[in-house]
Amino acid sequence: MLTLCAPDSPALPRAARYLETCPLPDDLVHVCALLNSVRMLRRCGYQVQREMSREVPPFDNAYSFFLAALCAEMRDEPFPDQEAAVGRLRALHRDDGGFAGQLGETSGQTNATAAALGALALWDHLEASDAAVTAFLAGMQAEDGGLRAHAAIAAGDLLSTFTGLLTLATLGKMAALRLGDLGRFTRALACPDGGFRGVADDDADIEYTFYGLGTLALLAMCLA
């Protein structure tokens, strides 16, 4: 956002005023978006004065743990009862080496694994046993070069490819993947208008353009 808007853009003070008066969200996705927007505006010199504390419903899924960890980091606050949270998150680790999205699921999933490892990394709780994650994610690479969301799917998708590659970058294990195939898969999802799509028969959108650019950036970092 900061690279798209000049620091003196009139959009920034308008956004700051909006964020001061908009209803405070009660779900983690929007709380995280609010905190991140406020942080970016403050870095541009625009202060957003409002109460940021809000209770959210209890959760036991990997994605919510990751968002909650991000929220605590952006508020520069310790995560409440972090050791208990680590235990609840590790309860999602499955025998296949991946993390399930929530209790009751029996198999690991690429995006849930990325969320779980992201939270554990923020909390400085990565362990030697997380080596099993490397093998799990390497096994999620499809013949097309992308990473699959879970084992029951045959083809890769750009979201899973980005989150899986980012997780392996965190672990220092990107070389566990066939990076040339992964790069070709990613570039094949680039559209003539410059955007990226999630799978071959989708249209381009902003979200998947972020994943595409992020994947290419990680590959460039690895191959530099």
Q: Do both 39 and 73 map to the same domain?
A: no
Q: Do both 90 and 73 map to the same domain?
A: yes
Choose one of 89, 107, 139: the last residue of a domain: 139
Q: Do both 151 and 215 map to the same domain?
A: yes
Contact 171, 187 (CB under 8 A): no
Grade residue 3 by pLDDT with cuts at 50, 70 and 90. Answer: very low
Q: Do both 153 and 209 map to the same domain?
A: yes
Percent of the chain whose predicted confidence (pLDDT) is above 70 = 92
Task: Give the per-residue pLDDT at 156.
Answer: 97
Integer Cα distance of 209 and 211 in angstroms = 5
Q: Do both 135 and 64 map to the same domain?
A: yes
Task: Read off the DSSP letter of residue 157.
Answer: B
Contact 123, 154 (CB under 8 A): no
Integer Cα distance of 182 and 141 in angstroms = 8
Taking each helix axis as running N to C, give the angle between helix 62-74 and helix 28-43, from 0 to 180 degrees, rounded to the nearest 10.
30
pLDDT tens digits, one per residue of 138-148: 999 999 999 99
Q: Do both 221 and 153 map to the same domain?
A: yes
Task: Read off the DSSP letter of residue 196.
Answer: B
Q: Do both 158 and 110 map to the same domain?
A: no
Choose one of 39, 54, 69: the last residue of a domain: 54
Contact 207, 199 (CB under 8 A): no
What average pLDDT does range 200-209 have in this prediction? 86
Choose one of 54, 77, 95: the last residue of a domain: 54
Q: Model's pTM, two decimal places?
A: 0.85
Give DSSP secondary structure letters for 36-89. Answer: HHHHHHHHTT----S----------BHHHHHHHHHHHHHTT-PPTTHHHHHHHH
78: tokens are 């310790």
Integer Cα distance of 94 and 109 in angstroms = 10
Q: Do both 84 and 50 map to the same domain?
A: no
Integer Cα distance of 204 and 153 in angstroms = 22
**N-term to C-term CA, the chain:** 26
Q: Do both 148 and 223 map to the same domain?
A: yes
Grade residue 128 by pLDDT with cuts at 50, 70 and 90. Answer: confident
Range(s) of the domain holding residue 28? 1-54
Total domains, the chain: 3
Integer Cα distance of 127 and 124 in angstroms = 9
More confident residue, 63 or 129: 63
Q: Do both 150 and 222 map to the same domain?
A: yes
Q: Do both 154 and 222 map to the same domain?
A: yes
> Whats the size of the chain, residue-wise?
224
Q: Do both 9 and 63 map to the same domain?
A: no
